[in-house]
Every structure is written in structure tokens, then in C-alpha cells.
Amino acid sequence: MTAAPAFHWLGADQLLPALPAGLADWLFDTGSLTRRLTALSAGRFAVTPLAEGWQSLRDDECAALGVAPGSEGWVREVYLLGGEQPWVFARSVAARAALEGFAPVLAELGRRPLGELLFSDPAFERGALQATRYPPAWLPAAVRREGLWGRRSCFHRENLAVLVAEVFLPELWQYQGIDPDAL
């Protein structure tokens, strides 16, 4: 288990005054990221699954899900691509205790976006978005670098909670003509 680096997930009220508008617009957009990336890429959107399965969840994930540290859960890590370029690294987790019957649904997703599930079922409610500069140790080696902005939120349906974290990669900013080092 990687030791938790000194970082904090912060809410819009704590971050918005200091963020460049272009960044805040992405970090705290409450709509479907899948739909937004599909539009931005003119339909050239895809999901590349990286890892899926049962793992021990990180301390910050356990705290957000309200389960004991070291609890096991279902983990899905993917790249969201625009025009064949990885634009977002996403890690979605759900605690085993709450996954009765839902784990097989997650396991069957494959290259279908999780968002299609979460935004098509009105029973899912999205909690508050938080953001942070994402600890590089928690990124896949291929995209690991300091200072990448990430966000997370929890989708709730009855006793199920799915914590979705999304890290915006430099290629997404560059595609929009934004210097990633200026964020």
C-alpha cells in the first residue's frame, strides 16, 4: 500500500478563487465527462481498460466510501481517449460490502464508458466534486508526472457508492491550445 502523500481533496469553495477559469470549468463540471469528451473529439472518443478487479482500496478511497482502512473493493482503471490520445486517466472504485449484484455489471463494462451506466440510471445521485493535484505515485507509469489536476466524486444508488476519480492529462489541454504547465 503506497503511503498517502501529503495532499488533500478540496471542494469548489476552497479552490475556485485561485483556479484559472479554463481549469475550473473542467474540474467542477457536473455533467458526464464521457459526453463532454465525445463532443470535444467530434465522436472520436474511446475507453481503454487498464486494470479491473478486486483490490485493497487506498486510505483516501476508504474514507470517501465510509469503509474501514484496507477494505477491499472493485477497481476499474481506464484511459479515456480523444482522437486515439489518452486525455484522462480514470480510477473508479466501489467497496465490496456494497457491491451485491453490481460487481458483475461493472465487470461486463469492458470498453463501454462507466458514465453510460451512471448517467442513464436516474437512481444514481452524484455527490460533490473535489479536486487536487494528483499524487504521481498513483498514476500509471506511462502518464506519471507531477502536478496533474484530478477530480473525484461519489455516485450513490441506495447502499451502493461508486467513487470516480478522473485525472486530466496534458494531451487534453494541448488539444485545446492550453499550456498544461500553466495550470
Q: Is 158 annotated as a binding residue?
A: no
Q: Is 76 annotated as a binding residue?
A: yes
The region of 3-11, 95-103, 109-117, 130-138 touching ligand ISJ under the rule CB under 6 A is 109-117
Question: Which residues 110-129 are close enough to bind ligand ISJ by CB under 6 A?
Answer: 113-115, 118
The region of 8-16, 31-39, 134-142, 169-177 touching ligand ISJ under the rule CB under 6 A is 31-39
Cα 176 to the center of its chain, rounded Å: 20
* 13 and 143 Cβ atoms separated by less than 8 Å: no
* 150 and 132 Cβ atoms separated by less than 8 Å: yes
User: How many Å apart are CA 165 and CA 145, to the nearest integer?
Assistant: 17
User: How many Å apart are CA 135 and CA 20, to the nearest integer?
Assistant: 20
Three-class SS state of 157: strand
| Residue 24: CB minimum distance to ligand ISJ, A | 17
Question: Using CB under 6 A as the criterion, which residues of the chain lie in contact with ligand ISJ when the complex forms?
Answer: 32-34, 47, 76, 78, 80, 90, 92, 113-115, 118, 164, 166
Tell me the binding residues. 76, 114, 166
